[in-house]
Amino acid sequence: MTTIRNEVLYRLYFVLALLVVVAGLIFAKAVQISVMEGEYWKGRAEEKYVQFRKLEADRGNILSSDGSLLATSLPYFDVAFDPNSSGMLESDFNQYVDSLAYCLATFIDPTFTPGAYRDLLIQKRLEGAQYLSIKKDVNFEQIKLIRDFPLFNMGQFKGGLIVMPKFRRERPFGLLAHRTIGYVREGIAPVGLEGKYDDVLRGEAGQQMMMRVAEDIWKPMEDLAKIEPKSGKDILTTIDIDIQDVTEEALFRAVDRHRAEYGVAIVMEVETGAIRAISNIGRTPEGHLWETYNYAIGSATEPGSTFKLASMLALLETGYVDLDDSIEIDGGHVTFYKDEMVDAYPHNIDTTTVQHVFEMSSNVGMAKLVQRYFGDSKKEEKFIEYLKEFNLHLKTGIEVDGEAAPYIKEAFDASNGWSGTTLPWMSTGYEVMLTPLQMLNFYNAVANDGQMVKPYLVSEVREYGNTVDRFPPTVIKRRIASKRSIEKVQFLLEQVVLNGTAKKLKTDKYNFAGKTGTAQVNYKRLNDKTHVGGYQASFAGYFPAENPKYSCIVLISEPKSFGQYGAEVALPVFREIADQIFATKLELQTPINIGPKPELVKNQLPDYHIGDRKEMEYLLKTFDIKYQGDPESPMVLLRAESDTLSLLTYTLSKKRIPNVVGMGLQDALFVLENLGLRVEISSSCGRVIQQSVKPGTPVRGQTLYLRLG
State yes or no: pLDDT of 638 exceeds 80.
no
pTM (two decimals) = 0.75
* Same domain, residue pair 579 and 611: no
Kindly report the number of other CB atoms within 10 A of residue 458's CB atom: 23
Dihedral pair phi/psi, residue 488, rounded to 5°:
-70, -40
- Length of the chain, in residues: 709
Domain membership flag for residue 645: yes
State yes or no: pLDDT of 195 exceeds 70.
yes
- Give, in degrees to the nearest 5, the angle at Cα 325 between 319 and 329: 120
Lowest mean pLDDT among 31-45, 375-389, 618-632: 31-45
* Same domain, residue pair 393 and 525: yes
- Give, in degrees to the nearest 5, the angle at Cα 527 between 523 and 532: 20
* Same domain, residue pair 484 and 553: yes
Domain membership flag for residue 646: yes
- The DSSP output letter for 82 is -
CB-based contacts of 361, cutoff 8 Å, min separation 6: 305, 308, 343, 344, 496, 500, 501, 515, 516
- The model's pLDDT over 170-193, given as tens digits with 9 standing for 90+, comes to 888 887 888 899 988 888 888 899
* Same domain, residue pair 317 and 356: yes
* Same domain, residue pair 553 and 683: no
Domain membership flag for residue 220: no
Tell me if residue 176 falls in helix, strand or coil: coil
Domain membership flag for residue 460: yes
Residue 602: predicted pLDDT:
44
Highest mean pLDDT among 111-115, 139-143, 379-383, 551-555: 551-555
Inter-CA distances, 192 with 215, 249, 293, 611, Å: 36, 21, 10, 57
Domain membership flag for residue 160: no
As a 3-state breakdown, the chain gives helix, strand, coil percent values, each rounded to 5, of 35, 25, 35
Per DSSP, what are the bridge partners of residue 407?
A: 433
Q: What is the mean pLDDT of residues 488-498?
A: 97
- The DSSP output letter for 299 is -
Residue 394: predicted pLDDT:
96
State yes or no: pLDDT of 674 exceeds 50.
yes
Measured CA to CA, the distance from residue 303 to residue 540 in angstroms comes to 11
Query: What confidence tier does 597 reach under pLDDT thresholds 50, 70, 90?
Result: low
- Give, in degrees to the nearest 5, the angle at Cα 599 between 595 and 603: 125
CATH number at residue 321: 3.40.710.10
Residue 297: predicted pLDDT:
96
State yes or no: pLDDT of 263 exceeds 50.
yes
Measured CA to CA, the distance from residue 381 to residue 633 in angstroms comes to 84
Kindly report the number of other CB atoms within 10 A of residue 467's CB atom: 12
Measured CA to CA, the distance from residue 444 to residue 441 in angstroms comes to 5
Q: Which domain holds residue 8?
A: 2-36
Measured CA to CA, the distance from residue 482 to residue 450 in angstroms comes to 8
Domain membership flag for residue 286: yes
Per DSSP, what are the bridge partners of residue 353?
A: 326
Kindly report the number of other CB atoms within 10 A of residue 479's CB atom: 15
Q: Which position has the higher pLDDT, 616 or 509?
A: 509
Kindly report the number of other CB atoms within 10 A of residue 521's CB atom: 15
Domain boundary among 588, 610, 639: 588
**Exposed/middle/buried for residue 23 (C-beta within 10 Å: 0-12, 13-18, 19+):** exposed
* Same domain, residue pair 584 and 627: no
Q: What is the mean pLDDT of residues 27-48?
A: 57
State yes or no: pLDDT of 601 exceeds 70.
no
Q: Which position has the higher pLDDT, 41 or 359?
A: 359
CATH number at residue 677: 3.30.10.20
Domain membership flag for residue 236: no
* Same domain, residue pair 382 and 276: yes
Return the biggest CA–CA distance within the chain: 156
Count: domains in the chain: 3
* Same domain, residue pair 617 and 579: no
Highest mean pLDDT among 130-134, 309-313, 379-383: 309-313
Residue 526: predicted pLDDT:
55
Nearest partner of 651 among 614, 689, 613, judged by Cα: 613
* Same domain, residue pair 624 and 578: no
State yes or no: pLDDT of 52 exceeds 80.
no
Query: What confidence tier does 305 reach under pLDDT thresholds 50, 70, 90?
Result: very high
Query: What confidence tier does 240 reach under pLDDT thresholds 50, 70, 90?
Result: very high
Lowest mean pLDDT among 282-291, 354-363, 429-438, 645-654: 645-654
Over its C-alpha atoms, the chain yields an Rg (Å, rounded) of 39
Q: Which residues of 246-258 are buried (b: 16+ CB within 10 A; e: fewer)?
A: bbbebbbbbbebb
Domain membership flag for residue 667: yes
Does an H or E element contain 200, and which? helix 198-201
* Same domain, residue pair 666 and 703: yes
Domain boundary among 588, 616, 650: 588
Highest mean pLDDT among 267-271, 610-614, 668-672: 267-271
Domain boundary among 588, 615, 641: 588
* Same domain, residue pair 577 and 630: no
Q: What is the mean pLDDT of residues 622-645?
A: 76
Nearest partner of 631 among 610, 609, 657, 650, judged by Cα: 650
Nearest partner of 81 among 168, 161, 184, judged by Cα: 161
Nearest partner of 374 among 319, 424, 310, judged by Cα: 424
Q: What is the mean pLDDT of residues 512-517?
A: 97
Measured CA to CA, the distance from residue 320 to residue 342 in angstroms comes to 25
* Same domain, residue pair 484 and 510: yes
Measured CA to CA, the distance from residue 560 to residue 283 in angstroms comes to 14
Residue 41: predicted pLDDT:
46
